[in-house]
Structure formats: C-alpha cells, structure tokens
Amino acid sequence: MSIRTHATLMGRVVMKRIRLQNLFSLCSRAFGPYKAAVVGMAILSFLSGTLEGVGITTVIPLFSVIVGGEATDVISHAIAGLFAFLHLPFTAKFLLGFMVCLFFAKAVFLFFSQQLTAHVTSDFEKKMRSSLLRLTFTANWPFLSSQKVGHLDQMLTTEVSNSSAILLYLSNAIFVLVNLFVYSFLVFNISPSIAALTVFFGAVVFFIFMPLMQKTRMTSEKMVRRNKELAHYASEHIIGAKTLKAMRLEEPVFLRGTFLAEKMRGLYLRLSFLKNITGALVQLAGVFFVVGLFIFLYKTSVFQFASFAVAVYALNKVFSNVQFAQSSAHAISMQIPYLESLLRHIDEATLSGETETGHGDFSFTHELAFNKVDFAYSGKDAALSSVGFTVKKGDMVGIVGPSGAGKTTLVDLLLRLIVPQAGSILLDGKDISDISLSKWRGHIGYVSQEIFLLNDTIENNIRFYDAAMTTEHIIEAARLANIYDFVDSLPEKFKTIVGERGVLLSGGQKQRVVLARVLARKREILVLDEATSALDNESEVLIQKAIEGLRGRMTVLVIAHRLSTVKASDKLIVLAEGKVVETGSPEALLKDKDSYFSKVNNLRN
C-alpha cells in the first residue's frame, strides 16, 4: 500500500470518528435531560426483542414434538428445562400457549416503549419551541433586526419536528440492535459457522454503504437552507402582496417560487434515492445470501427442515434489521442538520441575550437629557456624534431632520435597544443604564410608523397581552386617541376583528388603535416615531389632536418629517448628519430665516 493510499484511508477513519463524536455530542446536548427515559426505552426494547427471539426459537422444539423427534439445540433444552421446572407437560399445545404468551408480552413491552418515546419526543418539542421563543424574543435588538422573515417559524415547525425524530430513530435503533443480537444468537444456536458468516456479511454490507450516509447528510444540509429560503420568500412576498399586484409582478414572483420549489423537489428526490437504493441493495444481498446458504445446507447430511426454517427466518430478520439500521442511519443523517441549525440559533440567541445593566427604580420629576452621546453602527460612519439636549417633564418635543440624520438611532437609544458608545442619557441626572431595563420600558410608550396589529379584535389589540387591563381603561384610551367614536359606530364595536395586520382598517384608524394601546398603559414618556408620516391630512389632524391632548399628562417626543406634526411642540430639536444643529421653539426657528426648520417650511409652502 502506498503512503498516499494509507494516508487517505487514515483520513477517512479520522473523519468518520469525528462525525460520530459530533453526533454523540449533539445528541448528548439536545437529549441529555432525557437520559433516564432513554435508558427506560433501551430496557423495554431489550425485553421486547428478547421475547420475540425466544418466541421464534420455540418453533424448533414445537416442530420436533409434532414430528416425534427431539431438538438438540441449547435453547430447546432450556425451554424443556423451564417446562419441567414449572411442572408443565412438554406438548405441542403448551408450547403454542408458551409462544403466544411470549409474543403477547413482547407486544406489551413494545407498546410501552413506543408510548415512552412519544412522551419524550413531545416533551422535547415543547421545551425546544419554548426555548426558541424565549431566547429569540429576549435577545438584543441587533440580533433580532438581523433575522430573516420566515426563519423562526421554519425552526419552530419543520426543524423542531425533524430534530425530535432523531429520538424516535435512536429508540428504533436500540430495538434493532437488540433484535440483531437476539437473532444472531438464534442462528448461532443452530449453527455457529452460519452465524459467524452472517455477522461478517452483514458488517461488510453495512460499511460498504457508509459513504452514502455522508452524501445524505450533505444533501440534507442543503435541504435545511432551501426550507428557510422558501419560508423567507413566502413570508416576504405575502407582506408585500399589495405592492406586487399593483406593479403586475405576480408572474416573476411566481416563477421565483417555482424555481425554489423545483430545487427542493430535486433535493427530496436525491434524499429518497440515497435512502431507497440502500434498502433495495441490502435486501437483494440478503436474498442471495439465504439462497446460497440453502443450496449449501441442502447438500449436507445434517439438513433439518425445522432448524433450517427457523434459521432462514432468523437470517431474514438479521438482514431486515441491517436494512433498517441502514435506513435509520440515513434518516438520522438527514435530521442532524436540522438539529445543528436549531442549536446554532440557540447559541447565537444566548450570546446575544439582552443584559440587565441596572437595578434602580424609575423616577422622573425634572428632565431627560442626552449628554454628548455618540453611536456608530459596525463598519459605518457615526450615526450620532456628541448629541446633547434636554427635555423637561411634561413637555412635547419635536425632533426633525433629513433622512439619515440619526433620528431612528436616537429613538433606539432612548428605548435602550442599543447603548451609547460614548456619553450618557440621564433621567433627573441619573444614567438610565442604572435603571432596571424592565422598569424603564414599563414607563416608555412607543408608537412607530410600522404598525403592528394582531388579527384579532380592536379590544384585544388595545389590551395587547395585558390581561389585567379593564374595559374602562380601554374606552378611556380610545377616547384619548380619538378612535372611540369610530369604534362605537361599528356593529361589533370593540369586538370588531381588524384582519391580518389590520387590513380592515384605514391607515389612520390603525395608527390610532396603536396609540390607544400605548395610552391605556399610562406611560410617563411617549415616543412617536414617524407615527403620522403615512397618514392622510384628516387622520394626521386627529392624531395631532390626540397628541396635543396629552400635553402635561406625559412627556412626548415626536420624531417626524412632516413639520405640521411638530408645530405645536414646546421645543424643536433639529438633527443633521448625526448632530444637533438647531434647538428652540417652533416660533423662534420659523423667524430665523437661516434655520433648517424655516427653510423646509418655506419650501413646502
């Protein structure tokens, strides 16, 4: 053997060892909490397989009793000894009854094994889905904002189900291994040489097809990526369905989806081929082996029909189990990429978990201040540079500026979705990072341009997971948001279903429902992030009236492009290129002909 060939073989051995270690590591991590259950499954499978093997072996003494001969194998003598110990007659009738009892007991153990597997599998799926949801929604904003639409629902459904299937295949593998041992022992009891030849032949067949499992796993990894790609495609285009129809783009969008579906079809066919060709070839090899064995034994003088019939059945079972082992190995190879994807997401979400930096209480009596705050996104220029301003309690402050000025970054900092890289945000002189994050957000109300409504009633969209909120609070908030009269005019009133993403409401109505949602929670600081930018004039006026009605009730920060939205503010802050370039009352800035606010106002007029 050449050095190169030897090195290649050694490399393959090492890679197989690494893959087995990786499989063990993955399964240990994912299914470690179920060690006791797995042991129970193994015991039940062992008992079930053993009882089946002994039951089949009973055929040998049964045939011997029927034809008037005597079985000489070890198991037959053991069964005869058991009957003598129990003082039972060694007759065909009692042997048949004994066989039935064995198979009945086998069925009972198999049933409990399958039930235990089902309970463990369902518990794994529930806990995995709960973990995915909790870790994802408690992750920090940079992580959440990087997630693609449709990926999470793909993980919660397809990937969790496929990962739990590994438990089922492992449970089946235990049963298969026990059966292999029992039936190999049965063949050994009849003929040690045949048993040795069978084990050797089965091992050779198994390892010949091992490379196909690696191809199965690689193909399955591609399937995982395609599944996520298709889920992302579907979710993304359903969200933008109105735009697609308006632009007459149904056909190219359909063709893109068809292309993805065709790719998945090809991968599915490849996986099916790899799995089915293995099963077919193993089955064919088993048939040739049994036929060859029959020809050999038939020509010998020791041929006994009863023993041979049991041996053939046992050999068939051995090869069936080898075939099933191959199928299970392929199935596990197909599911492992799904489990890897889940655990990878869990690791990333865990590392990106939102950290609680403060433990202090929220107390706001004087002012909120940005003190020389800097922030830059990775690999980009500064989004905010030395930003400083103050907001008095109870004031309404407008924040304006061109696109890219840093308004959204400022809001994200205020919501503590991101943290300043320099400087600080102070509440009554106290750094907000020292305040408990949950308490901080419990006092901040946020209304964005991107409206988030559930496909539920108006009432539940205002209540929004707050079971303690009373109907009186909902009605009061609806009045403050200038939406009550509209809701009261509806046949179902607050029980009216708004449709998917609020499709049954107008833009202004949706925005006022969201505003009512925030007002019902009685926050101390309200942030309106471009909340009126997509509204018609009438809807904007209603929102403005609602906002102005809050003056003195809470501190309001209004981020807007529309100058009309912020003209009633107590103070304006103008951002440009990440810096505060102007501050003052709307009246003062309008009088200054060189101010940004005045220039933009003149352009629009």
Secondary structure letter of residue 532 according to DSSP = T
Sorted by sequence, the CB contacts under 8 Å of residue 429 that are 6+ apart come out as 366, 369
367-376 and 382-392: which strand pairing?
antiparallel
CA distances from 589 to 180, 515, 557, 574, 601 (A): 87, 29, 18, 10, 10
Q: Helix, strand or coil for residue 526?
A: strand
CA distances from 348 to 146, 164, 353 (A): 12, 21, 9
Task: Decide: pTM greater than 0.75.
Answer: no
Q: How far apart are CA 336 and CA 338, in angstroms?
A: 5
550-578 residue pLDDT tens = 777 889 998 887 777 788 788 999 888 88
Q: Helix, strand or coil for residue 348?
A: helix
Token couple for 603: 């352009």
353-370 residue pLDDT tens = 888 778 889 899 999 999
For every residue of 418-440, which 3-state class applies, written as one string? CCCCEEEEEECCEEHHHECHHHH
- pLDDT given at position 50: 79
CATH topology for 16-351?
ABC transporter transmembrane region fold (1.20.1560)
Reported as a pLDDT band with limits 50, 70 and 90, residue 143 is confident
Reported as a pLDDT band with limits 50, 70 and 90, residue 536 is low
Domain segments of the chain as ranges: 16-351, 367-604
Secondary structure letter of residue 551 according to DSSP = B
Q: How far apart are CA 590 and CA 584, in angstroms?
A: 10
**Count of Cβ atoms closer than 10 Å to residue 589 Cβ:** 21
- pLDDT given at position 10: 37
Reported as a pLDDT band with limits 50, 70 and 90, residue 493 is very high
4-28 residue pLDDT tens = 443 333 344 434 444 566 777 888 8
Token couple for 249: 């783009």
Strands across the sheet with 422-427, in order? Answer: 382-392, 367-376, 422-427, 430-431
25-58 residue pLDDT tens = 888 888 888 888 888 888 888 888 778 877 877 7
Residue 526: name the closest of 538, 541, 515 by CA: 515
Arithmetic mean of pLDDT, 222-236: 80
365-421 residue pLDDT tens = 999 999 999 999 887 788 899 999 999 998 889 898 888 888 889 999 998 988 999
Q: Is the dihedral of CA 96, 101, 103, 104 positive or negative?
A: positive
In 130-190, where do the E strands start and end? none
* Amino acid sitting at position 519: L
Q: How far apart are CA 27 and CA 166, in angstroms?
A: 8
231-274 residue pLDDT tens = 877 777 666 665 566 567 677 777 887 888 888 888 888 888 88
Q: Residues 374-403, buried b or exposed e (16+ Cβ, 10 A)?
A: ebeeeeeebbbbebebbbebebbbbbbbee
* Amino acid sitting at position 557: L
Residue 514: name the closest of 444, 441, 452 by CA: 452
Q: Are residues 416 and 432 in contact, defined by beta-carbon separation less than 8 angstroms?
A: yes
Sorted by sequence, the CB contacts under 8 Å of residue 79 that are 6+ apart come out as 54, 57, 58, 61, 95, 98
For every residue of 49-77, which 3-state class applies, written as one string? HHHHHHHHHCHHHHHHHHHCCCCCCHHHH
Residue 477 in this model has a pLDDT that exceeds 60: yes
| C-alpha 123 chain-centroid distance | 15
CATH topology for 367-604?
Rossmann fold (3.40.50)
Residue 100: name the closest of 60, 55, 63 by CA: 55
Q: How far apart are CA 143 and CA 354, in angstroms?
A: 10
